[in-house]
Structure 1
Amino acid sequence: MNRKFWLTLALASFMVVTAACGANSGKTNNENKGNTAGSGNTAEKTYTIAVSQIVEHPSLDATYDGFVAALKDAGIEEGKNLEIDFNNAQGDSANIKTISQKIANSKSDLALGIATPTAQALADDVKDMPVLFAAVTDPIDAGIVTQLEAPGGNITGASDTNPAAITETMDFIATQIPNVKNVGLIINEGEQNAVIMGDIAEKALEKHGIKLIKASVANSSDVKQAADSLVGRVDALYITLDNMVVTGADAIIEVANENDIPFFSADRDTVEKGAFAAVGFKYYDHGYEVGQMAVEILKNGKNPGEMNVTVPQKLDFIFNMKAAAEQGISVTDEMKALVKDQENNIIE
């Protein structure tokens, strides 16, 4: 794990930053950039934004939705003064590269990479326009930026990981779930972000004398088999912000429910689907923050290299009470007391 990233991350947790970006489909032409929508001095500038998203799943889709909402709230709205070229790489590395090269050759005003691999490709290929990233675990270790504060160049964005969230989840498992000796991690070890988060989880569990047992997958269709392979060997299941695995979360929920195994995730959306708990935040808010960064760049001329990379600030426990019942978990008052916003984060 990149020590510089996590040290910088701890400092970044105390900084307040605004920033912005957007994504969708249907870019037509870029000839009207800066042109007027009428005559005289009443012209309105139009914008084009190109988006590369690694795959569609709830957390990444919510990131995109929040991004677009922030633009709209600032008066940059698709169908009026905004064109968005949305590209879904469908988890394919060849598609990721093709999309980044296409964006590099476009006349877009700004590019957005949602998830680590797509952001890495944009950082490598796009040099002549501002680039933002979202849903990236460790942008330093991934080679996207060299530092979180004023990273320089033409790129900045938001990390979706605060190490405290992982540690708090592991501490909860160790102290609140009875008799846990082994925790199963379903992981795509080809995703750098998943490996980094898995290492943090493993170290946190070691402090409690608990072992992390990994079940690797090569694609989302392997997730069910990996989850099945852990039955009888582990006392709880966990997944990171692992795009391939999150896409197959329904299969893990099925295994967890059938075998009464508490299932923990690293994102709210998977808890809403049927995992029991996470320490997390709303990806919509994460995307909205990046959308605000885009507004600063597009409307106010901010240089992305001078804008700090942000990290999640509003962490909270999130419980799914129906999932708890399905997975044989008795949710105690002590557990509930850990939830700061019980109205929104205890899901009945």
Structure 2
Amino acid sequence: MTERPSAFAVDRRGFIRLAGSTAAGWLALGATPDRMRVVASLTVLPLDDELTRRSMTDSATTRLGGLIAGLRQRGWVEGVNYRFEIRSTFGGPDKFKAAVRELIDLKPDVILTGSTGETAAVMAATKTIPIVFATSNDPVGNGFVESLAHPGGNVTGFTSSTAEMGGKWLQLIREAVPDIARVGVLFNPATTPRAGRFFLDSLEQEAAASGVAVVLAPVSATADIDGAISRFSEAPKAAMIALVDSFLVVNRQTIIAATAKYRVPMIYPFHYFMDAGGLMSYGPTLEVRSADYVDLILRGTKAGDLPVQAPRKYELLINRTVGNALGLTIPFTLLARADEIRE
């Protein structure tokens, strides 16, 4: 069992003051003072969301904090030789379009995207500004890159899951709840890869082999979530799987509250759901490697010449206290394989 390192958080104003006081030292590492570069980023979360606030700290355990810290190690100091701009796409289609337009109008040197929808929107808006996607499940299938090894164009980045994850999630939730007869699949068709089919093929194959019925539970609005989950509190016994989906991440608190209310076990793709009180998650370990690519692009490397990288490690997290509240006895064989057990 491994423990997540504690976050060392510094507010961004304090961080900029610290950076400014040591600018000469960082410039000696290779930063160039000839002009102020612009690194831009989009997030599907509101800017006041807990995950967004946490990400804006100077900590390697958060995506944006890790980016800023990683760039500093490479000689790029925020407020000295580059500035960081972030916009939220949260708030509906008009807000989404406005956020993308605002970033494009800044003429940034590189744009970091965090979801499939964001990457597609930015690609539609520019063919010249380099784009680095921090997470993408199917970059070739979505038309973002020509191939993983040779992306081409102005885009590259990092994948976060494979299509086989659907079957893996079912295997794990069945170990936690071995007597289920059906599994519900929660997702928003508009925001999950290939409207869910990216994961459903392997999930349905695993379900057919294990005799479990797959019941789709698509949701398109926050108000749909409670009813979608309540259906699986009745017989025959069921558990649920949350697909990789930015909509579900935004609404993670609502989802967790409904699973507790209706006592429905659910497995999630990211540790964000565990932080909100989820039962178990299985997904890629958060490795903030985007600083490597942003640095290379700022120094002149073409995004399309940088290969798309896959996760190097996956982690299983289990909350035993949540399991007890749901009336589950998590098998020791499953607990023994967990990277982290929360109480």
Give the TM-score band, short-chain normalised.
Answer: 0.7 to 0.9
User: What is the aligned partner in structure 1 of residue 166 from structure 2?
Assistant: 166
1:239 aligns with 2:230: no
User: What is the aligned partner in structure 2 of residue 48 from structure 1?
Assistant: 38
Q: Report SS of the residue matched to 2:76.
A: coil
1:269 aligns with 2:272: yes
**Counterparts in 2 of 1:69 and 1:197: CA distance versus 1, 3 Å:** farther
- 1:298, distance to aligned residue in structure 2 (A): 1.3
User: What is the aligned partner in structure 1 of residue 215 from structure 2?
Assistant: 213
Q: Distance in 1 between matches of 2:312 and 2:164?
A: 10
Q: Report SS of the residue matched to 2:337.
A: coil
Question: Quick check: 1:197–1:240 contact (8 Å CA) kept in 2?
Answer: yes
Q: Distance in 1 between matches of 2:225 and 2:271?
A: 19
Q: Distance in 1 between matches of 2:238 and 2:163?
A: 23
Q: CA RMSD in A?
A: 2.8
1:177 aligns with 2:203: no
User: What is the aligned partner in structure 2 of residue 324 from structure 1?
Assistant: 323
- For 1:270, the aligned partner's letter is F
Question: Quick check: 1:55–1:91 contact (8 Å CA) kept in 2?
Answer: no
- 1:43, distance to aligned residue in structure 2 (A): 6.1
1:123-161 CA distance string (max 9 Å, x none): 122122211112222112222112111211111011211
Question: Quick check: 2:183–2:214 contact (8 Å CA) kept in 1?
Answer: yes
**Structure 2: gaps of 5 or more residues:** 1-11, 14-23, 56-61
Deviates more, 1:224-233 or 1:51-60: 51-60
Identity among equivalent positions (%) equals 21
Question: Quick check: 2:151–2:306 contact (8 Å CA) kept in 1?
Answer: yes
1:71-90 CA distance string (max 9 Å, x none): 23323232332212211010
Question: Quick check: 2:32–2:81 contact (8 Å CA) kept in 1?
Answer: no
- 1:302, distance to aligned residue in structure 2 (A): 1.9
Q: Distance in 2 between matches of 1:225 and 1:126?
A: 40
Question: Quick check: 1:63–1:135 contact (8 Å CA) kept in 2?
Answer: no
1:335 aligns with 2:334: yes
**Counterparts in 2 of 1:260 and 1:230: CA distance versus 1, 3 Å:** closer
Count how many residue pairs are aligned between Structure 1 and Structure 2.
305
- For 2:108, the aligned partner's letter is S
Q: Report SS of the residue matched to 1:218.
A: coil
- For 1:326, the aligned partner's letter is A
**Counterparts in 2 of 1:254 and 1:99: CA distance versus 1, 3 Å:** closer
Q: Tell me the TM-score normalised to structure 1 length.
A: 0.78
1:303-331 CA distance string (max 9 Å, x none): 21111111212112111122111222212
Q: Report SS of the residue matched to 1:111.
A: strand
Q: How does 1:103-182 map to 2 (within 5 A)?
A: 103-182=103-182
**Structure 1: gaps of 5 or more residues:** 1-23, 26-35
Match of 1:200 among 192, 199, 202: 202
Q: Distance in 2 between matches of 1:67 and 1:204?
A: 37
Q: Report SS of the residue matched to 1:163.
A: coil
**Counterparts in 2 of 1:224 and 1:103: CA distance versus 1, 3 Å:** same
**Counterparts in 2 of 1:69 and 1:210: CA distance versus 1, 3 Å:** farther
Q: How does 1:43-82 map to 2 (within 5 A)?
A: 44-45=33-34, 46-56=36-46, 61=55, 62-82=62-82
Q: How does 1:269-348 map to 2 (within 5 A)?
A: 269-283=272-286, 285=287, 288-299=288-299, 301-339=300-338, 341=339, 345-348=340-343
